[in-house]
Amino acid sequence: MTVNMIIATFAWVLLVLGFLARKKRSRHIPLMHSAIILDVGLVLYLQVTRDAVQTAMEFSLSLPEQIHILFSTLALVLYFPVLYLGWAVVRGKSGARSKHRKLALVTFVCRTLGFLFMFSMWQSPAS
Ligand code: HEM
């Protein structure tokens, strides 16, 4: 497993822990922020060092690798409205909680699928 995969796994574990603590704001909010910052940071780093987006756009990758990129990108884009709605819940905006929950669940599923398909990119040192 590469260092980037370990970081991505750590971010996903934070997301799972934050999800399990969804009823406890004092834990849920910092865990979700940490996971999101780590994920966004990793994508920015991969973009700078490897032109990740250009590689994805070339469609030269295998189907599982493309599925990984599709769901990971979806999750990354959805993080922003989820963040916005999360803070709207904190501000006490009516209706925000149900919207946050629905969109957050979709985001969590996307990120989990992206995470599982990430392992299709795992190459043994010998190969
Ligand atoms: C991908 C990231 C996130 C996921 C998957 C997620 C998921 C959830 C879920 C499923 C709930 C339960 C809603 C309910 O049962 O009614 C919840 C509640 C909540 N979330 Fe998030 N969330 C995420 C990020 C955030 C962020 C960044 C904030 C920032 C403020 C936030 C703030 C809240 C608040 C305030 C609640 C209500 C907690 C309560 O008092 O019960 N969430 N979240």
Where along the chain do its domains lie? 3-121
Q: What is the pLDDT of residue 91?
A: 97
Confidence of residue 37 (pLDDT cuts 50, 70, 90): very high
Q: Given this model, what pLDDT does residue 5 score?
A: 93
What is the distance in A from the centroid of ligand 1 to the CA of 48? 31
CA of 28 to the centre of ligand 1 (A): 7
Mean pLDDT of all residues belonging to the chain: 92
pTM score of the predicted model: 0.90
Give the number of the atom of ligand 1 that is nearest the alpha carbon of residue 89. 35
User: The tokens 């922003």 sit on which residue?
Assistant: 80
Measured in whole angstroms, how far is the alpha carbon of residue 11 from the centre of its chain?
A: 8
Contact 43, 76 (CB under 8 A): yes
pLDDT tens sequence across 6-22: 999 999 999 999 999 99
> CA 111, 10, 30 angle in degrees (round to 5)?
85
Residue range 57-63: mean pLDDT, rounded:
80
pLDDT of residue 67: 92
Q: Which of 31, 30, 29 is nearest to 14 (CA)?
A: 31
Distance CA 127, CA 114 (A): 23
Q: Reduced to 3 states, what is the DSSP secondary structure of residue 23?
A: coil
Task: Name 109's Cβ contacts closer than 8 Å, sequence gap at least 6.
Answer: none
Q: Is 72 in the pocket of ligand 1 (CB under 6 A)?
A: no
Q: How confident is the model at residue 127 (pLDDT cuts 50, 70, 90)?
A: very low
Give the residue, 108 or 54, on which the prediction is more confident. 108
- pLDDT band at 126; cut points 50, 70, 90: low
Is residue 87 in contact with ligand 1, taking CB distance under 6 Å?
yes
* Ligand 1 touching residue 97 (CB < 6 A): yes
- Which residue type occupies 104? A
